[in-house]
């Protein structure tokens, strides 16, 4: 009987110690975990893609080293170049014209404290990417600025410069859906498995 | 009151924080070498140095410059002897002259960061400064000349 009591005591002490050392649950998911669903995931990404390909997003994710301008995504006037840090070159630095906020008026420089392109060593090109290429690129930390999926969602949902797209100033069209709707589609895409569309998707 | 330092001199400016810096420089401080061209950051005539960057003062609000260091064309050198000013003089770069202070202020940033710029470097640095007289070829030649003068000066 004594042995049994000692064993029970030992077992409960060990259990308590083990439980007390259990790491706290890391709260990373602010979204519902849905079962994997490749069709639903791809469908959500195709919505995300329409936003990323809109002028407000794509103009600063160009295929070349010059930013783009306008709803027709023409090459930025003044021969503006990316530069190593994505903030321009010499006397043509982004913040020389682009202020911390939009300058009021039609065709005046839009602004944000972080205004710029992705840096030369992480170009994060949207222009010309198919849905499949862009999805795979966004999920690859070597091509997305070293972001985990959670950080990718955070970036899309809350980054201030990304958010500028929905407050772009006079005369600029908005992306095709609201930011909360966009963020919801990003979350859904990842939550359902983060699938890339097929190569045929356009 | 907003404190700014212009060409090494401290100023307390009593003006709307949203006033374009260009107005402060020209109309309040009386430094009229910096020009108003387009008012939309499109031409470069209003280029000044704000903490060493070639910002366009027509769209830069006074409050961005609060407590900061500004250099205008009047303060680029003590005796108008910046290599660019000497080269500009020697090659008679200006025609009407309106854009030239902006051109020189932009060129100064290029020469600070690249002591031996190629034609491509000059294009990259100067394409945002418009000259309606079309003095671009002389601007390019003068920047090459100033770069050479700067290098020679550094050797002395």
Per-residue model confidence as pLDDT tens digits over B77-99: 999 999 999 999 999 999 999 99
Residue A6 has pLDDT above 90, yes or no: no
- Counting Cα atoms < 13 Å in the Cβ hemisphere of A94 gives 25
Contacts with B73 from chain A: Cβ below 8 Å: none
Q: Domain end: B59, B75, B91, which one?
A: B75
Which residues 6+ apart lie within 8 Å of A115 measured at CB?
A87, A94, A95, A98, A161
Question: Is B113 in the same domain as B63?
Answer: no
What is the reported pLDDT for A28? 55
Residue A34 has pLDDT above 70, yes or no: no
The Cα angle at residue B51 between residues A90 and A165, in degrees rounded to 5? 65
Query: In this prediction, does ipTM exceed 0.85?
Result: yes
Structure tokens at B43: 């031409």
A193 touches chain B (CB under 8 A): no
Instruction: Give B16→chain A minimum CA distance, Å.
Output: 16
Which residues 6+ apart lie within 8 Å of B14 measured at CB?
B1, B2
Which residues 6+ apart lie within 8 Å of A22 measured at CB?
none
pLDDT grade for A200, boundaries at 50, 70 and 90: confident
* Residue scoring higher pLDDT (A22 or A151): A151
Closest alpha carbon to A98 in A113, A83, A85? A113
Question: Is B62 in the same domain as B116?
Answer: no
Distance CA B35, CA B100 (A): 9
Residue A26 has pLDDT above 70, yes or no: no
How many residue pairs bridge chain A and chain B with CB atoms within 8 Å of each other?
A: 68
Q: Domain end: B21, B44, B75, which one?
A: B75
Place of tokens 């990373």: A28
Question: Is B57 in the same domain as B28?
Answer: yes
Nearest CA in chain B to A82: B124
- List the CATH number of the domain containing B120: 1.10.150.120
Per-residue model confidence as pLDDT tens digits over A180-189: 999 999 999 9
Distance CA A64, CA A15 (A): 60
Question: Is B9 in the same domain as B46?
Answer: yes
Secondary structure class of A151 (helix, strand, coil): helix
Mean pLDDT of A2-17: 62
Q: A183 near A149, Cβ under 8 Å?
A: no
Strand partners, B50: B53, B70
What is the reported pLDDT for B27? 98
Per-residue model confidence as pLDDT tens digits over A88-111: 999 999 999 999 999 999 989 999
Contacts with A96 from chain B: Cβ below 8 Å: 41, 47, 53-56
Distance CA B140, CA B120 (A): 10
Instruction: Give B10→chain A minimum CA distance, Å.
Output: 23
Question: Is B40 in the same domain as B94?
Answer: no
- Phi, psi angle pair for A68, to nearest 5°: -110, 165
Secondary structure class of A88 (helix, strand, coil): strand
Nearest by CB to A89, from B56, B59, B125: name it: B125
Per-residue model confidence as pLDDT tens digits over A114-172: 999 999 999 999 999 999 999 999 999 999 999 999 999 999 999 999 999 999 999 99
Query: How much is the pTM?
Result: 0.87
Give the range of the structural domain holding residue B53, as residue numbers without chain letter.
2-75
Residue A24 has pLDDT above 80, yes or no: no
Domain count, chain B: 2
Structure tokens at A117: 């392109």
Question: Is B11 in the same domain as B62?
Answer: yes
What is the reported pLDDT for A19? 52
Inspect the interface and report whether the beta carbons of B124 and A107 lie closer than 8 Å: no
* Residue scoring higher pLDDT (B58 or A31): B58
- List the CATH number of the domain containing B14: 3.10.20.30
What is the reported pLDDT for B86? 97
Mean per-residue pLDDT over chain A, rounded: 90
Mean pLDDT of A62-85: 96
Question: Is B7 in the same domain as B71?
Answer: yes
- Regions of chain B short of the pLDDT cut 70: 156
Question: Is B67 in the same domain as B21?
Answer: yes
Question: Is B121 in the same domain as B68?
Answer: no
Closest alpha carbon to A144 in A122, A129, A160? A122
- Phi, psi angle pair for A183, to nearest 5°: -60, -40
Question: Is B53 in the same domain as B96?
Answer: no
Q: At what angle do helices B83-90 and B100-113 cross, to 10 degrees?
A: 130
Q: A100 near A112, Cβ under 8 Å?
A: yes
Question: Is B63 in the same domain as B87?
Answer: no
Per-residue model confidence as pLDDT tens digits over A36-73: 899 999 999 999 999 999 999 999 999 999 999 999 99
CA distances from B145 to A90, A100, B88, B117, B118 (A): 18, 36, 9, 11, 12
């Amino acid at each position: 009987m004594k042995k049994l009591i000692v064993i029970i005591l030992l077992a409960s002490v060990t259990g308590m110690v083990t439980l007390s050392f259990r790491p706290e649950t890391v709260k990373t998911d602010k979204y519902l975990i849905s079962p994997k669903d490749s069709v639903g995931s791809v469908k959500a990404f195709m919505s995300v893609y329409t936003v990323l390909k809109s002028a407000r997003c794509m103009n600063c994710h160009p295929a070349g080293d010059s930013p783009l301008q306008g709803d027709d995504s023409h090459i930025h006037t003044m021969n503006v170049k990316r530069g190593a840090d994505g903030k321009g070159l010499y006397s043509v630095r982004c913040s020389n014209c682009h202020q911390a906020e939009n300058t009021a008026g039609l065709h005046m420089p839009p602004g944000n404290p972080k205004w710029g392109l992705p840096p030369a060593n992480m170009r994060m090109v949207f222009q010309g990417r198919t849905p499949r290429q862009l999805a795979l690129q966004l999920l690859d930390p070597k091509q997305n600025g070293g972001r985990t999926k959670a950080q990718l969602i955070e970036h899309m949902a809350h980054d201030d410069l990304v958010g500028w797209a929905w407050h772009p100033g006079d005369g600029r069209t908005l992306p095709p859906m609201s930011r909360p709707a966009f963020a919801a589609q990003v979350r859904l895409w990842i939550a359902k498995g983060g699938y890339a569309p097929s190569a045929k998707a356009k | 009151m907003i404190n700014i330092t212009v060409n090494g001199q401290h100023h307390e400016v009593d003006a709307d924080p949203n006033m374009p810096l260009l107005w402060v420089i020209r109309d309040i401080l009386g430094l009229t070498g910096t020009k108003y061209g387009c008012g939309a950051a499109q031409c470069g005539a209003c280029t000044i140095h704000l903490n060493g960057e070639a910002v366009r003062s027509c769209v830069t609000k006074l409050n961005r410059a609060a407590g900061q260091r500004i250099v205008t064309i009047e303060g680029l050198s003590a005796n108008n002897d910046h290599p660019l000013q000497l080269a500009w003089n020697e090659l008679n770069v200006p025609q009407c002259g309106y854009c030239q202070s902006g051109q020189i202020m932009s060129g100064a940033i290029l020469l600070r960061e690249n002591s031996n710029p190629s034609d491509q470097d000059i294009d990259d640095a100067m394409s945002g400064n418009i000259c309606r007289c079309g003095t671009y070829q002389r601007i390019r030649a003068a920047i090459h000349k100033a770069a050479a003068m700067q290098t020679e000066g550094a050797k002395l």
